[in-house]
Chains A and B, each alone.
Chain A
Amino acid sequence: MTAAFFSVVTIASIFVFLTSGSFMAIRKIGFLEFIFGPAWNSNPSDTLVGEIAGSYGILPLIVSTFASAIGALIVGGVIGFFTGVYLARFCSKKTSPYISQLINLLAAIPSIVYGYFGMMIVLPLLSYLSPTGESTGTLALSIVLGLMIVPTVTALTKSSLENVDESLYECAAALGLSHDKAVFAIEVPSVQRGVMAALLLGVGRALGETLTSVMLAGNKVNYPTSLFRSIRTIPGNVALEIDGAGELQLGALIGSALVLFVLVLVVFGMYNIVKNSKKKQQGQGIFAKLWANTVARFTKASKVVSIVSTGITIFVLSSIVVLILLNGAPNLGRQFLTGTYSGGYDTIAAPIVTTMMYVLLTALVSFPIGVCTAIYLTEYTSRQKKGRITTLIEIAIDTLSGIPSVIVGLFGVVVFADILGIGTSILAGCLTISLMIIPLTSRATQEALRLVPESYREGAYALGVGKARTTFELLFPSAIPGLLTMVILAVGRMLSDSAAVMFTMGGVLGPLPTGYLSQGSTLSTAIYVLGYQHEYYGEAYATASILIIIVLSLNLLSTFILNRFRRSSRLRKA
């Protein structure tokens, strides 16, 4: 019960933190000047009193953030959508599961790896196209963010197409429509809500990407007037300036995070509306009309686009893995993995140890709270009729899981590290990341408990077995495969996070940590520190390889567990 309120308290305190932390600064700068000011040129010596030397307008940042998210949507949305259609409707039944599996695996690759790939491969390629030779900017960022959201969009499009009522297709076929026509003109329009939801989810993720943005955007404060002009996004700006920020500067950064928070909330709010809205009359929206007039007419071409998109998806995503592994392998030596630190950047022994310490403590903090929340929500509240409190908790969990890492990181560095006096350290990092892991574990545990057949509960209650015992001794053991998957997912998420870890743990590469109060880097942030900050490219590739291998094997493991569980439950039914 207490645990369940945790998420509500967290989300409330983050909101309070964002507003109160920025209020004085924004008042000093002036609200209009802050939102609509055309220039950001901070000065760390500015305080809340006296003259302001720098300028703090975030309009270019907002516009740039949006431009790159929209660009990502165009790149990732189109490719992802058509890939989803291909996998659901054109690909042979035999190969489709393998490709989907592959794409799901690629979805697990940490975004920092995508970012590094973008920096090393996409930027040089784009510089051939660019008139000035400068390739950082909106286009580069959009492409990489787009690739990042391809797996999500593909998976959601595919699953919503697979849930289309079969009679719809049969009906179209019976009217003599070709397969292509039936798919594009009849089935796809009927899942427009599902596709919209997928796209919004993608935008939500693209808006919050932080270190990727730093690596690819160029980071000069500009309006994105050309595809190759250097830009700076809100999260990128926070990452660049948080270290050593002055009083007013920090307030303004928190203010910009508040703006980002609101933007993300709006996007997720739209997502929820789209997802839950009652089915509208078919063919009413603008998109539907546009669709009917264009794509649906050229079904042959659309089919070709689907095939090409799938090809691109498979090719690009697997080449990310292959290129990183190929470039990383030569650097994976003994000195690199286990060597002692001697001032250089030739060993990642410290990040390896730090990562282990961090995963362990974060799990210890977040799993009990997440699991208790889930138990409260599934077993101790009525399912059919949700009370206000339950709804409140669920909204809090959903919101918390959608907040970009950069915002939680900012909260962590100010509240845990400074106000509570822990300092930037592994401990502060663990506490901060826990805030993001808790909603994840809670959701996944809820799913696992819901999969336990209702008849078990009924049977146990009818025997006069109490609720607590039923939950812990009967339901939990039955939910073990689901819970294991939850643990693996959560660990994967911990390993992937970069922005919040960077802020709260200090992002330094040094000797082995001596305790939880040491500063440090995880493998994710080590990629950024090595590859972007210190230009140790080979070492960064090698670190990325290790990270990819760990994350992919975790992912395979969870698929394996799920498949085994499904198989055994199918046997049981037979």
Chain B
Amino acid sequence: MANRTIIKVEGLNLFYEELQALSNVNLDIAEKEITAFIGPSGCGKTTFLKCINRMNDLVPGCVIEGKISINDVDIYGNINVDMLRRTVGMVFQKPNVFPMSVYDNIAFAPRGHGTRKKADLDALVIDSLTRAGLFQEVKDRLHKPADELSRGQQQRLCIARALAIGPEIILMDEPTSALDPISAEIIEGLCRELKENYTVLLVTHNMQQAARVSDKTAFFLLGQCLEFGETSQVFSHPQNEEFQKYISGKF
């Protein structure tokens, strides 16, 4: 059963000054699935991810051509960027908790977005932590500094923080590459649970991870998307020659 397309990318080109980092990327990303993005370093995976919540706006000299629409709205049209980023949450490579308590880390953004009542915030914090599978571990430490948590817990806190703003889409930029294997496994499991309710875009260096977790896989090389399809299909019957080489480790 094919899910509805939520993100539609058409003819995307991206330049950093003179350097072309993405060329002519066309992708339809389906709702409530995990789409993995793999490829060698510098191939444009992360750049692509950052186009979707317009984090590239913060990079000077970055020029974007083409069209990205989410739920049929052109996100480079006349929209509020902060609203966009509330629809599209993001988790970074390294856990970047704020220097505040666990509770405040999650409540920081919702407070600014208008949720002020303590009862509402409490409920939101508990709900987000539960969804991120962290609540049981930290329920007695909600008001302790967040940087006292382990790295794996910090990363899940970052995921909880992203969930608390009520996104539809979650971007994950190599969320496990800075973690030990056990923490990584927990996060992978979490991804599978998250796709019940969210659309997940996962950038990863780890092909096994892509194969284990994702529904669809996209392979990037030198800024181009060379292969895109059902993960099982892509790995068992790779079409693109470069991709064949890449998955068999001849790179």
- Using a CB–CB cutoff of 8 Å, the interface residues on chain A facing chain B are 382-385, 453, 455-456, 458-466, 469, 473-474, 477-478, 572
Within the assembled complex, what's the spacing in Å between the Cα atoms of A473 and B113?
A: 14
Chain B residues within an 8 Å CB radius of A477:
99-100
Minimum C-beta distance from A482 to chain B (A)? 13
Chain A residues within an 8 Å CB radius of B86:
463-464
Of the candidate stretches B26-34, B55-63, B196-204, B233-241, the one touching chain A is: B55-63
Q: Which of B152-172 contact A (CB under 8 A)?
A: 158, 161-162, 165
Chain A residues within an 8 Å CB radius of B99:
456, 477-478
| B113 CB contact (under 8 Å) in A383, A455, A464, A478 | A464
| B108 CB contact (under 8 Å) in A384, A385, A465 | A465
- From known contacts A384-B61, A385-B61, A465-B112, infer whether A459 and B55 are also in contact, taking CB-CB under 8 Å: no
B73 at the interface (CB under 8 A from A): no
Chain A residues within an 8 Å CB radius of B94:
455
Interchain residue pairs A-B with the least CB separation, the first 4: A464-B85, A455-B96, A463-B109, A462-B90
Chain A residues within an 8 Å CB radius of B147:
572
| B92 CB contact (under 8 Å) in A458, A464, A469 | A458
Q: Are the CB atoms of A461 and B55 closer together than 8 Å?
A: yes
Q: Are the CB atoms of B89 and A459 closer together than 8 Å?
A: no
A–B Cβ pairs within 8 angstroms, 22 of them: A382-B60, A383-B60, A455-B92, A455-B94, A456-B96, A456-B98, A458-B58, A458-B96, A459-B161, A460-B98, A461-B58, A462-B85, A462-B90, A462-B162, A463-B85, A463-B86, A464-B83, A464-B109, A465-B82, A465-B112, A469-B112, A478-B99
Within the assembled complex, what's the spacing in Å between the Cα atoms of A453 and B165?
A: 22
Within the assembled complex, what's the spacing in Å between the Cα atoms of A572 and B146?
A: 10
B53 at the interface (CB under 8 A from A): yes
B84 at the interface (CB under 8 A from A): yes
Q: Which of A383, A464, A474, A478 has the most CB of B within 10 A?
A: A464
Q: Which residue of chain A lies nearest to B165 when distances are taken between CB atoms in the complex?
A: A463
Within the assembled complex, what's the spacing in Å between the Cα atoms of A239 and B161?
A: 61
Minimum C-beta distance from A215 to chain B (A)? 49
Chain B residues within an 8 Å CB radius of A572:
147
Q: Which residue of chain B lies nearest to A463 when distances are taken between CB atoms in the complex?
A: B109
Within the assembled complex, what's the spacing in Å between the Cα atoms of A463 and B108?
A: 9
Within the assembled complex, what's the spacing in Å between the Cα atoms of A464 and B109?
A: 7
Q: Which residue of chain A lies nearest to B113 when distances are taken between CB atoms in the complex?
A: A464
Chain B residues within an 8 Å CB radius of A466:
82, 112
Minimum C-beta distance from A282 to chain B (A)? 33
Chain A-chain B contacts (Cβ-Cβ < 8 Å), number: 69
Chain B residues within an 8 Å CB radius of A465:
82, 108-109, 112
Q: Are the CB atoms of A459 and B96 closer together than 8 Å?
A: yes
Chain A residues within an 8 Å CB radius of B90:
462
Q: Are the CB atoms of B85 and A461 closer together than 8 Å?
A: yes
Minimum C-beta distance from A88 to chain B (A)? 33
Chain A residues within an 8 Å CB radius of B162:
462-463
Within the assembled complex, what's the spacing in Å between the Cα atoms of A456 and B92?
A: 11
Q: Are the CB atoms of A458 and B165 closer together than 8 Å?
A: no
- From known contacts A382-B60, A453-B96, A455-B96, infer whether A473 and B85 are also in contact, taking CB-CB under 8 Å: no
Chain A residues within an 8 Å CB radius of B165:
463-464
Q: Which of A453, A462, A469, A473 has the most CB of B within 10 A?
A: A462
| B109 CB contact (under 8 Å) in A382, A383, A385, A460 | A460
Minimum C-beta distance from B217 to chain A (A)? 24
Q: Which of B97-139 contact A (CB under 8 A)?
A: 97-100, 108-109, 112-113
Minimum C-beta distance from A318 to chain B (A)? 39
Q: Which residue of chain B lies nearest to A387 when distances are taken between CB atoms in the complex?
A: B60
Chain B residues within an 8 Å CB radius of A456:
96, 98-99
Chain B residues within an 8 Å CB radius of A463:
85-86, 89, 108-109, 161-162, 165
Chain A residues within an 8 Å CB radius of B55:
458, 461-462
Q: Are the CB atoms of B53 and A462 closer together than 8 Å?
A: yes
Minimum C-beta distance from A465 to chain B (A)? 5
Within the assembled complex, what's the spacing in Å between the Cα atoms of A474 and B146?
A: 14
Within the assembled complex, what's the spacing in Å between the Cα atoms of A151 and B39?
A: 54
Minimum C-beta distance from A42 to chain B (A)? 55
Q: Are the CB atoms of A462 and B89 closer together than 8 Å?
A: yes
Within the assembled complex, what's the spacing in Å between the Cα atoms of A464 and B86?
A: 5
Chain B residues within an 8 Å CB radius of A383:
60
Chain A residues within an 8 Å CB radius of B97:
459
Within the assembled complex, what's the spacing in Å between the Cα atoms of A477 and B98?
A: 10
Q: Are the CB atoms of B98 and A464 closer together than 8 Å?
A: no
Q: Are the CB atoms of A459 and B92 closer together than 8 Å?
A: yes
Within the assembled complex, what's the spacing in Å between the Cα atoms of A469 and B58?
A: 16
Within the assembled complex, what's the spacing in Å between the Cα atoms of A307 and B84?
A: 64
Q: Are the CB atoms of B89 and A473 closer together than 8 Å?
A: no
Q: Are the CB atoms of A474 and B98 closer together than 8 Å?
A: yes
Within the assembled complex, what's the spacing in Å between the Cα atoms of A474 and B162?
A: 16
Chain A residues within an 8 Å CB radius of B82:
464-466
Q: Which residue of chain B lies nearest to A384 when distances are taken between CB atoms in the complex?
A: B60
Minimum C-beta distance from B28 to chain A (A)? 24
Q: Which of B48-84 contact A (CB under 8 A)?
A: 53, 55, 58, 60-61, 81-84
Chain B residues within an 8 Å CB radius of A455:
92, 94, 96
Within the assembled complex, what's the spacing in Å between the Cα atoms of A384 and B158?
A: 27
Q: Which of B81, B92, B94, B96 has the most CB of A within 10 A?
A: B96
Minimum C-beta distance from B226 to chain A (A)? 28
Within the assembled complex, what's the spacing in Å between the Cα atoms of A456 and B99?
A: 9
Within the assembled complex, what's the spacing in Å between the Cα atoms of A572 and B147?
A: 6
Within the assembled complex, what's the spacing in Å between the Cα atoms of A473 and B108?
A: 9
- From known contacts A382-B60, A465-B108, A465-B112, infer whether A459 and B83 are also in contact, taking CB-CB under 8 Å: no
Q: Which residue of chain A lies nearest to B147 when distances are taken between CB atoms in the complex?
A: A572
Minimum C-beta distance from B238 to chain A (A)? 33
Within the assembled complex, what's the spacing in Å between the Cα atoms of A332 and B100?
A: 47
Minimum C-beta distance from B234 to chain A (A)? 28
Within the assembled complex, what's the spacing in Å between the Cα atoms of A466 and B113?
A: 9
Excluding A385-B61, A459-B98, 14 further A-B contacts by CB distance (< 8 Å) are: A453-B96, A455-B92, A455-B96, A456-B96, A460-B98, A460-B108, A461-B55, A463-B89, A463-B161, A464-B86, A464-B109, A466-B112, A477-B99, A572-B147
Within the assembled complex, what's the spacing in Å between the Cα atoms of A517 and B48?
A: 63
Within the assembled complex, what's the spacing in Å between the Cα atoms of A469 and B111?
A: 11
Minimum C-beta distance from A379 to chain B (A)? 11
Chain A residues within an 8 Å CB radius of B58:
458, 461
Chain B residues within an 8 Å CB radius of A382:
60
Within the assembled complex, what's the spacing in Å between the Cα atoms of A79 and B242?
A: 65
Q: Which residue of chain A lies nearest to B105 when distances are taken between CB atoms in the complex?
A: A459
